[in-house]
Structure 1
Amino acid sequence: MSGKGAPELTVENRGDLRDLRVAVIAAQWHQQIMDGLVNGSLRALRELGIAEPTLLRVPGSFELPVAAKVFADRGYDAIVALGVVIRGGTPHFDYVCQGVTQGLTEVSVTTGVPVGFGVLTCDTEEQALARAGLAGSVEDKGHEAVTAAVATAATLRTVA
């Protein structure tokens, strides 16, 4: 089931993370949902002691990979990509979701910089709202994307 079993990331189990350079990249479509995702990600970073992440807004989810690549090339330790794509009546949903997923995966694999995947791919706006970390939401995918990216960056620090 979605939302269950996520790893916890704390200073106690990962060490001091304050020196990590983290970029949060967020699409602009669906402002209420995106505001929830961004707020959840920034809250997670504050909880980890990462006080000054870089926040960049891009037009849509399809633009997330190119922005992630720029941050990876500029020496960031972790990147968090936030977006939402809601299914419509055309194949556009499938193309955007596939492109974003492949693009972010390629950035992470080719650069070695962890990318937290906080892109909601939902059938309805209600599903997205339920995952956006807003009051009444059952999940906080912005927070979870930070946890994934930062935990991976912390783990990679231990690789000799």
Structure 2
Amino acid sequence: MAEPKRRVGGVEQTPARVLLVEARFYDALADELLKGALRRIEAAGAHCDVVSVPGALEIPATIAILVQAASARHQPYDAVVALGTVIRGETTHYEIVTEQSARALMDLSVSLRLPLGNGILTVENEAQAIARASVDHMDKGGDAAEAALAVLRIKRAAGCV
């Protein structure tokens, strides 16, 4: 049996129109996540529209609104990236925000057959958030962008464009 083809590292060119929606609740973390995501999107030769919202719960509705508007103008988005940070606090609000934003993003991605990279960090503390957001460390913004582009490449290879 032949070994399956796997892509390891590097950025494939994926000309595309990408919508990036970022939550600005923690500005410094948002800046770092955005930097990583834009670096990957630009390296792939894609065009990116960036829209900022106050927090993670506003991301799914904003994506739904803008994807629908773009499709109505016959300028659809090929992929979407969601960025933000949710840090656990003393109440159950953390669980609500993390679970509901993730569920809504998954529902959007599946129902619209839309490649979506979920880069909403869900962490216990600020130190974890900094490590994950930093482009010099874990670069989760870049990972989210690459995830969206990887699924877009699969979608295109399957002839679902």
Do the aligned partners of 1:27 and 1:83 also contact (CA within 8 Å) in 2? yes
Do the aligned partners of 1:86 and 1:125 also contact (CA within 8 Å) in 2? yes
Q: What is the deviation of 1:134?
A: 4.5
Superposed CA deviations along residues 20-64 of structure 1, whole A, max 9, x for unmatched, are 1101110011111110000100011111112x3100001101001
Q: In the superposition, relative to structure 1, how do residues 89 and 30 fare at CA in structure 2: closer, same or farther (>3 Å)? A: same
Q: In the superposition, relative to structure 1, how do residues 53 and 95 fare at CA in structure 2: closer, same or farther (>3 Å)? A: same
Once residues 120 and 7 of structure 1 are traced to their aligned partners in structure 2, the CA distance between those partners, rounded to angstroms, is 24
Once residues 67 and 107 of structure 1 are traced to their aligned partners in structure 2, the CA distance between those partners, rounded to angstroms, is 11
Once residues 56 and 100 of structure 1 are traced to their aligned partners in structure 2, the CA distance between those partners, rounded to angstroms, is 17
Runs of 4+ in 1 over 2 A off after TM superposition: 6-11, 70-74
Match of 1:94 in 2: 95
DSSP-derived class of the 1:90 partner? coil
Give ranges in structure 2 of 5+ residues lacking alignment. 1-6, 71-75
Match of 1:3 in 2: none
Match of 2:67 in 1: 72
With normalisation by structure 1, the TM-score equals 0.86
Q: Are 1:130 and 2:128 matched, yes or no?
A: no
Once residues 115 and 44 of structure 2 are traced to their aligned partners in structure 1, the CA distance between those partners, rounded to angstroms, is 17
Alignment of 1:24-63 (within 5 A): 24-50=20-46, 52-63=47-58
Q: In the superposition, relative to structure 1, how do residues 95 and 42 fare at CA in structure 2: closer, same or farther (>3 Å)? A: same
Once residues 14 and 56 of structure 2 are traced to their aligned partners in structure 1, the CA distance between those partners, rounded to angstroms, is 28
With normalisation by structure 2, the TM-score equals 0.86
Once residues 31 and 128 of structure 2 are traced to their aligned partners in structure 1, the CA distance between those partners, rounded to angstroms, is 15
Q: What is the deviation of 1:10?
A: 2.4
Give ranges in structure 1 of 5+ residues lacking alignment. 1-5
How many percent of aligned residue pairs carry the same amino acid?
A: 34
Q: Would you say how many aligned residue pairs link Structure 1 and Structure 2? A: 147
Superposed CA deviations along residues 94-129 of structure 1, whole A, max 9, x for unmatched, are 000011000100100110001101000000011000
Once residues 57 and 32 of structure 2 are traced to their aligned partners in structure 1, the CA distance between those partners, rounded to angstroms, is 19
2:34 maps to a residue whose letter is V
Q: Which one has a bigger Cα radius of gyration?
A: 2
